[in-house]
Amino acid sequence: MPDPGPVTCAGCALLCDDVTIEPSGDGVRLEPPCPLGAQWFSERARRPASAPAATIRGQAAGVEAALNRAAELLRGARRPLIYGFDGATVEDARAAVALADRLGALVVPGGLAGAWPGAPALPLRGASSATLGEIRDRSQVVVIWREDPLTSHPRLLERLGFVDGSADGSPRRAWRGTRTLVVLDDRDTATAARADLRLRWARERDLEALTCLRAMQRGVAARSSDLGDALGGLLERLGEVPHAAFVYGPALSSGAGGQRRALALHELVRALCGDRHVVTLALPSAAGATGAEDVLTWQTGYCGSVDLAGGHPELVTATRPLMADEGVDVSLCIEGGLSPAPAGVAEIALGSLPARGDAEVSIHTAAAGVEATGTAHRLDGVPLALQAPLARDAPSAAALLARLLAEIER
């Protein structure tokens, strides 16, 4: 493997751009060390040379034949769906939206699981956001809401200015002054073990807790005594500092009630901003999620799931899994894991990892950040270039989507 110098790792949405890679046995080793990033690189670097470039109904096929079959399916689709984007670049997402516009498709950034896959919390309330650097340099209280970034985004605490600097391993501020790391979680996680303040209650009470915090901020006493004491301490700490941050992710916003919990968090942050600056930082589960949402925002005006069937963009506010509820008959998954499809749905997969064998059409793509270059947006929206330390001949998802659109328009 040639030495490409520092590269950007797309193993998680943090997109660390100071990583060097070296061969190690069957995989690679990263410096600074990161097991998650090493696994991500290794999975994409060791594709067998004998693996087919494309398949149709599980049988090896040429890329051209697979594209023709995919175009035939999409051309005849009554209700096409485009989703995924876990490992997609901004260029991939742009090409996908162009195809969706031509087809009148439903576009869903991310997977299809959860009761509210089209949760409109951000379009309804907006978000007070910040870059990692602003949180590192200004936030004196950082609240991590039911996430374990030491596992899902291993270098996040380091990037937010918390470093190992004490004998007991507790986090310490990288610059002068006092900072507080608050972790809200009823699980015993690696991140919770490093908290300065630990809060516990069941996930089912998150909406109650956020509503109580909002009421207490307005001077209304909490009805729940057990939550009231914990929330009072948190609110007091927030009131003592000029800048604070809430870090949250799928554990808050996904599943039943996720839309309302996310909405309550952003309403709380908006209220707290009356006399101090409070920001939020979302932790997407995949590196391509932020870029895909940004592309949808630029081109449709909405950052969540968008329906283009009417000839114009409409925000999707579904309360049931979309593939079943919307009558989808053809789905196109781009650089993501295939979601289980109802009977009768023809599945097309474009991805750098092997798709399920029951996909109607599957085409292998070059992995962005390993085999192909591109642009990705870090979880705080900062664009970063992805390099190709192991450049190969496989086409990118953007190139395949452009060819697919051209074939459909013939």
Tell me, what CATH number does 308's domain have?
A: 3.40.50.740
Average pLDDT over residues 119-135: 84
Domain containing 223 equals 121-282
Q: Which two tokens stand for residue 221?
A: 């006493």
Within-domain flag for 20: no
The residue among 286, 263, 223, 257 whose CA lies nearest residue 92 is 286
Q: What pLDDT shows up at residue 219? A: 86
**End residue of a domain, out of 258, 282, 306:** 282
Give the dihedral sign, CA 11/16/17/18: negative
Same domain, 126 and 243: yes
Same domain, 173 and 262: yes
Give 3-state DSSP helix, strand, coil % of the chain, rounded to 5. Answer: 35, 20, 45
pLDDT band for position 177 (cuts 50, 70, 90): low
Residue with tokens 């270059």: 373
- pLDDT exceeds 70 at position 118: no
Within-domain flag for 42: no
Average pLDDT over residues 243-249: 97
Same domain, 157 and 79: no
Q: Report how far residue 195's alpha carbon sits from residue 181's, in angstroms, rounded to the nearest whole number.
A: 5
Q: How many domains does the chain have?
A: 2
Same domain, 184 and 316: no
pLDDT tens readout for residues 352-374: 998 877 899 999 999 999 999 99
Q: What pLDDT shows up at residue 373? A: 96
The pTM of the full predicted model, rounded to 2 decimals, is: 0.91
pLDDT tens readout for residues 295-304: 999 999 988 8
Q: Report how far residue 160's alpha carbon sits from residue 313's, in angstroms, rounded to the nearest whole number.
A: 36
Mean pLDDT, the chain, rounded, equals 88
pLDDT tens readout for residues 41-64: 999 888 777 889 999 999 999 999
